[in-house]
Chain A
């Protein structure tokens, strides 16, 4: 799943605008309801619950699994809903929600449980203590999906702290003989794959329960799909994904279900196992008003941390408490993790202030990935580090990384010329930024699909900064003469000048360097630094010339191409029926094809890649697509940050290797713990001036070249 990646390090930070404080209405303080009132409330609840269950049953009865072709035709309006209904009645389509008995489970399945992998947490870990961190903005909702839910706060209630049916093993990244990643159990205790590799069977651990004590069952998973299918959750990606990429969900008994997928892709089990059920019993009042009704409701979680209403201080802080009776606390892979008792998240809007708070000991960790922090604001010579109060760690991780680079909108005038785009590639001096601004710590990105192992093109690299090649390429496009300000001008008097939009305030300086360098090649980049939300909106509306942005990429097995490069995501009607370019086509907003690429050859390969079941074929197609994209020149690969650099107070302890191979933030997986005696000692030492051993370590076990 792609999401906008909006800051360096620290997990999924997404789209947080300046929020209005006091989003919460004042609550509490009311007198206890009278018997009559509570009776009326109960009656209301019962009627809503009945309505929800009836609606769900109706959805179960009427939802059919449509082949992708039919589904796409329906979305385009070529097939009506009535026609689907008739064809379904005629028995053409299977039902999406199916109910069977345990006897229907094939007997010859090979069940796996993933118990043969190394444990994740450290056996040294102890429980207790408080982790203090900050948020740059108060969360705008506690919903897990729907409007505003994709903000940085989701890390704390979803990404880092929830459990899935099974989780990819964070250190053993090998691929097994079935073409799957290694999974270790979470909510599931075992899973199996059908012969044709299109159905995944999952057996839920009978001990699994939500944080409110209710057991997790197959019904919750059926409900989850019903939930994701509803348009009123206002999450179109979920609506589409859970229809398009799944063909059926089948319940066998309370703890067993299966998911069927349209294609047998590599790592097919991931599509089933990396899901998380929603608690049906919590959503009895689920309906059209979901977005408002559940705005500030903490959803019972399968994970270890819970949020209670009194720990939500409007506009100020959020505190999560460890569920001491968490059902999975002693399970292999889950023990010795999630060690701190409280996670206190204070709202500090200003980055400089956050760092000062860290230096005062009010915040536990600080990301020092930016060279400015690592070398200037908290150098090894800083008293805190030199006296051993604060420790620093440089941890090299190994996973697909955010794709920082220039995304050129080839649907715009002048930029629709390939020679101009190639020229821009040669005129962009990312190497100087890396060498002189990032002090050589980061590395140049090669393609937008780096870090996928055997799916990454072995030889392609980014075009280097080369003024002569840039000028030659611009000259091919008709830009030969330099204007009085040194910017190239073509015969029509048009200047070679484009707007460069970004939402990364923190990386603004890198763009001013690119701008100065580009002027050498006669290219003018006009910088436009917007706030994250405004910039992302502009890019999604395809209003940008060139955008400096990045997608955060999940640790998946193979890159995705459809979202970002297929022509249906570039234009409304990209081609005429005869296959020629539609002259009246319009850019299609709200898709991830930021480059507005529409290339028939690419489309064919993307479709083949999507439908392919074979690793070799997908690999070949991926390489061919990368070559086409390289030729097209509409993406200028930027830099990758091959590590995370963290500064933390002395009382935090980490596993021997510091972190897991695919970690993307310090808190990922919650492997650290607090030594409370050390905390007391260190806090005292701040006053007494006592010093300790310096810890400033590099963990390069997972370093790649």
Chain B
């Protein structure tokens, strides 16, 4: 791929800003890790050798106990892989569990009671459990995965809408600009969080969790795109007045070509500096919603829900709030560092004689 030399210089500069660069690598690793979380933190076995046959149940359909020779009630219910090793004892069959053999939904009792337990390396609850005995680390990782992909999707969608409308406003100007500015002014004065709460509260919970997350995303996007239009509009206004735009027009380029080939690439450096901050605000928003109990439906794992549990059990189970808080601060800090680095690397003052 042939990159613009200007872009190469920006990338190089980004690489030179160590804090941002390593933050970006950390975040990438985290995202990849969360994508593969099922292989590391899961209540399903990684590998089972049963009667000479190999099974890899991580991503398969739910298996019933009968598949592995369990009898009685255990034969007709989904397999509890953790107990399978015990069942296989003395036979040639083997079962290998992931490093942390707990899913985000599995309840584990301590002394026969479901309660918050502190970090316990023997039971492999490295960060302890929440109030119903679910592994905090598992819930954090799966919660992070939802939050980060939610934030990425949110960013992509708001940029799509914000950039197109802002660009159109700046390029066409006139009545279109005037009208849309008024619309945006009104729209952006609607308190965003309240609207999300109100709209989301009337969505029937008969929808599957995935659908509900999508709806939440769309509602947030609906109220989240306006901020970008201001920057995009002014940028477009400015670029439109430049000579190269005039030259392109004189050469007979159409609207689409001028917009996509000339104006957009020249505004993108401004836009890109906002990306990490949009991600941060999306993560914060979804965490806040979950914290208030208006976000993802229970028992979906989420950082906000953990924070809520943690603050309610501040003295009795401090590990919940500590884990959730540290994780949230870490993620937000990493994204912010990336943002700062991107902003600095893409700072146009270093590369242009205009302005």
Contact = CB atoms under 8 A, between A and B. Distances in A.
Interface string A364-399: 000000001001110000000000000000000000
Residue from the set B61, B109, B132 with the largest chain A CB neighbour count within 10 Å: B132
B78 interface: yes
Interface in A512-546: 512-513, 515-516, 519-521, 526-530, 534, 545
Contact of A515 (B113, B299, B316): B299
Contact of A508 (B114, B116, B298): B298
A468 B75 CA distance: 10
B112 interface: yes
Contacts of A572: none
**Per DSSP, are chain B's interface residues mostly helix, strand or loop, or mixed?**
loop
B312 A486 contact: no
A529 B314 CA distance: 23
A437 interface: yes
A468 B131 contact: no
A439 B133 CA distance: 13
Interface string B122-157: 000000000110000000000000000000000000
Nearest to B312: A352
Q: Range of interface residues on chain A? A: 35 or more
B206 interface: yes
Nearest to A375: B115
A104 interface: no
Given A376-B115, A520-B78, A509 B132 contact: yes
B255 interface: no
A529 B293 contact: yes
Nearest to B106: A516
Given A377-B315, A436-B109, A527 B297 contact: yes
B160 interface: no
Given A376-B316, A467-B73, A436 B112 contact: yes
B298 A512 contact: yes
A468 B76 contact: yes
B206 A526 contact: yes
A591 B317 CA distance: 42
A512 B201 contact: no
Q: Range of interface residues on chain B? A: 35 or more
A31 interface: no
B73 A499 contact: no
B293 to A, nearest CB: 7
Contacts, number: 87
A532 B322 CA distance: 30
A439 B62 contact: no
B327 interface: no
Given A482-B62, A509-B131, A377 B113 contact: no
B311 interface: yes
Nearest to B299: A512
A530 B205 CA distance: 10
A436 B77 contact: no
A574 to B, nearest CB: 25
B114 A437 contact: yes
Contacts of A372: 115, 131, 313, 316
A484 interface: yes
Contacts of B114: 436-437, 509, 513
Contacts of B131: 372, 509
Contact of B205 (A375, A484, A528): A528
A527 B299 contact: yes
B312 A351 contact: yes
A92 interface: no
Given A352-B311, A505-B293, A512 B78 contact: no
Given A372-B131, A526-B297, A435 B112 contact: yes
Contacts of A520: 77-78
A135 to B, nearest CB: 19
A516 B78 CA distance: 11
B76 A467 contact: yes
Contact of A513 (B73, B132, B311): B132
A485 interface: yes
B203 to A, nearest CB: 10
A353 to B, nearest CB: 10
A499 B205 contact: yes
Interface in B93-134: 105-107, 109, 112-116, 131-132
Contact of A352 (B78, B201, B297, B314): B314
Interface string B286-308: 00000001000111000000000
A545 B206 CA distance: 9
Contacts of B115: 372, 375-376
Contacts of A468: 73, 76
Contacts of B77: 467, 520-521
Interface string B50-68: 0000000000011010000
A352 B320 CA distance: 15
B73 A376 contact: no
B15 to A, nearest CB: 44
Contacts of B208: 526
Contacts of B206: 499, 526, 545
Contacts of A439: 113
B299 A534 contact: no
Interface in B203-253: 204-206, 208-209
Nearest to B309: A509
A470 to B, nearest CB: 10
B295 to A, nearest CB: 11
Interface in B161-175: none
A512 B293 contact: no
Residue from the set B106, B107, B208 with the largest chain A CB neighbour count within 10 Å: B107
Contacts of A512: 105, 107, 132, 298-299
A346 interface: no
Interface string A232-264: 000000000000000000000000000000000
Contacts of B293: 505, 529
Contacts of A519: 78
Contacts of B311: 352
B61 A484 contact: yes
Contacts of A545: 206
B312 A527 contact: no
Contacts of A528: 205, 297
Nearest to A501: B205
Nearest to A351: B312
A527 to B, nearest CB: 5
Contacts of B316: 372, 376-377
Contact of B62 (A484, A508, A513): A484
Nearest to A373: B316
A530 B315 CA distance: 27
A508 B312 CA distance: 14
Interface in A555-569: none
A526 B112 contact: no
A406 to B, nearest CB: 16
Nearest to A468: B73
B78 A486 contact: yes
Contacts of A529: 293, 297-298
B107 A513 contact: yes
A130 to B, nearest CB: 27
A589 B21 CA distance: 60
Contacts of B313: 352, 372, 376-377
A472 to B, nearest CB: 10
B193 to A, nearest CB: 14
Closest 4 CB pairs of A and B: A486-B62, A528-B205, A484-B61, A520-B77
24 contacts: A352-B311, A352-B314, A372-B115, A372-B313, A372-B316, A376-B317, A435-B112, A436-B113, A467-B76, A467-B77, A484-B62, A485-B62, A486-B61, A486-B62, A511-B298, A512-B299, A515-B299, A520-B77, A526-B209, A527-B205, A527-B299, A528-B297, A529-B298, A545-B206
Given A351-B312, A499-B204, A509-B114, 16 more contacts: A372-B131, A376-B116, A376-B316, A377-B313, A437-B113, A484-B61, A484-B62, A486-B62, A486-B78, A508-B298, A512-B105, A527-B298, A527-B299, A530-B201, A534-B201, A545-B206
